[in-house]
Structure 1
Amino acid sequence: MTSEGQTPDLSGERGFRTVRESIYKYALLGCAVLSVLTTFAIIGVLVVDAAAFFGEVGLFTFLTGARWSPNLQPVQFGVLPLVLGTVMITVGAAVIALPLGVLTAIYLSEYASTKARSILKPMLEVLAGVPTVVYGYFALVYITPALNVLIDGVNGVLGLSLPNLGLFNGLSASIVVGIMIIPMVSSISEDAMSAVPDSLRQAGYGLGATKFNVSTTIVVPAAVSGIASSFILAISRAIGETMAVTLAAGSQPPDIPPVHTLFGLPYFAPSDLLALYADSMSTMTVAMINIASGDISGGSIAYQSLFAIGITLFVITLTMNVISNVIAGRYREVYE
């Protein structure tokens, strides 16, 4: 037993613990600094090589050119066809993934039992772990033939003359990329909906609202910041997809459709844009793969165009992420 005049030793080898905590601190700091330095190194490489490319070709020519042909004569470096292919596939994937992902999230958050949620949500997240090359092969071998059978059936029943899809086409690529990003939309949206306090739901039920009304008019608006963030992150994921798009859509950049004018404003006819989905449709990421794996010598203009595409893609995805953060901060609900 400790006497009254004796002070107990509560240090617990404090000197060694302080050294150990310092090691942990600086090791974690090193990891953080390494991550930041790696990001800046990538940006630096992109900027330096892209600047060399723009010194030869010109930024305006690159951004407004309507033909991409780094290997064939005449050599042209217009990025518009690649941007158009990227936007077309991204929009097609968003049309599929965003509504399905939100509806799935509503079911998991509001309707599914605990047991059903514990089974369905991991199964959805398994989709995110499937290699993208498998998705691309699935689109090439199964989705495209199934779509052609469907088109033939519609033409026979309705007497239409819809064109059959080519072996490589933008429609099957859009479908398979949409399937790929459904787990991202549903998982993030479901987490946002689950964070809505039950008191809001109970207030709706107390006013006589049905479960559907509570889900669509109370829960979804309250979780709109998380849902909007899931949309933008999923779209950014679709923009950067490579292997699935390469196998499903091919590597031929789409032709820019004719430009029409209405009240002096230029626009593309919707029928011309929809017709692009039947043919091969290269994106910016696919073009980068073709350049990197082609017979182009390092240091050439064609090789440097890879970095010009890369920094363009970087700016697009960075803008999407900034918009996501702004929306999340603007519409985030804080509950006490």
Structure 2
Amino acid sequence: MSSLYDLAGPADAGAPGPSDPSDPSDPSGARDVVAFARVAAAAGLGARWPGQVALLGPGAAGAAAGSLLGGAVEPASLDLSAVLDRSAAGGLVDVEFDDAAAVRAGLACGGRASILVQPIGALPPEVLSALAHRRPTAVLTRLDDPALPTRAPAPPGDPAYGDPDSPDSLARSLLERGEPADAVAETASGRMLVSVYVPAPHLVVVGSGALATALGAQLALLGWSSAEVTGLDDALAAVDALGPGDGVLMVDHSADVDGPVLARALRGGVGYVAALGSRRTQAARRERLRAIGVDEASIERLRGPAGLDIGSRTPAEIAVAIVAEMLSVRASTSGAALRDTTGHLNAGRP
């Protein structure tokens, strides 16, 4: 599976990817990608895969990354790049599966889908900037216009921003859920495809050891990623590439590393910031953060000792406790046992 966030390079890179994220208006060098494809509509098939994107290279035989409909549609099998040969703006490709073909493709049942192919240049600068900084974003495309005009949601002050029936309002509500989503809004001028993209969480582990390996295995089960870094410069570069859905775990106990890195993460809005160590170590870290001017509200966001209290001892068990805490922070829940809560199950999920 591929993601629009792949345009900005790997999340664990401390430096800009093939196209410089600091210049979001120029995606031309991004891994030789010339077009992207996404599902505009689907019926049947038994499941949905919001946020899936295929990235297409130049030419009829251009390399492609990712697949659609849970892997049932490979870009090369449809020659999606040929769509751009017919229209520079892109267009729709219809695919259909009978029940037998659906089962062979790994789908639950037959159905049909429309796949929208557009040039990378259709993505507005606001969206490219969000992708480069690993922040959630939305793309709105008017499907019934041959030019396929594509834009970001309206900003505050725009008339569409305050209209509760506008596709912009739908985009904002989907973004607030914190999950990838695809929806089609009916408007006076036709159908509007609203696609919401949220980067898969990435955890930077500052330090090394068995715990970092265990965390990588645990995060992989969720489709998340991690990177192990050592040294101040590499750690700061890795933290700078993170967004609000990502995390930092401080394993290193060196005073010349943990203070600057944790301060950068807390000030930079990284969503989950945690540190290993005894309570005495945690108190010393907090004093170091105060000494370099980190405000109390930011220091309060530091999760240390890291992890939920589940009696973990081994690296694998500690990894479970830390990942569970990161899940809880992302969902703004208490982390308490469901038995001790009220209301609908998973109601706190964004």
Q: Aligning the two structures, in what range does the TM-score lie when normalised by the shorter sequence? A: under 0.3
- TM-score scaled by structure 1? 0.25
- TM-score scaled by structure 2? 0.24
Flag the structure with higher helix content: 1
Q: Which has the larger radius of gyration?
A: 1
Flag the structure with higher strand content: 2
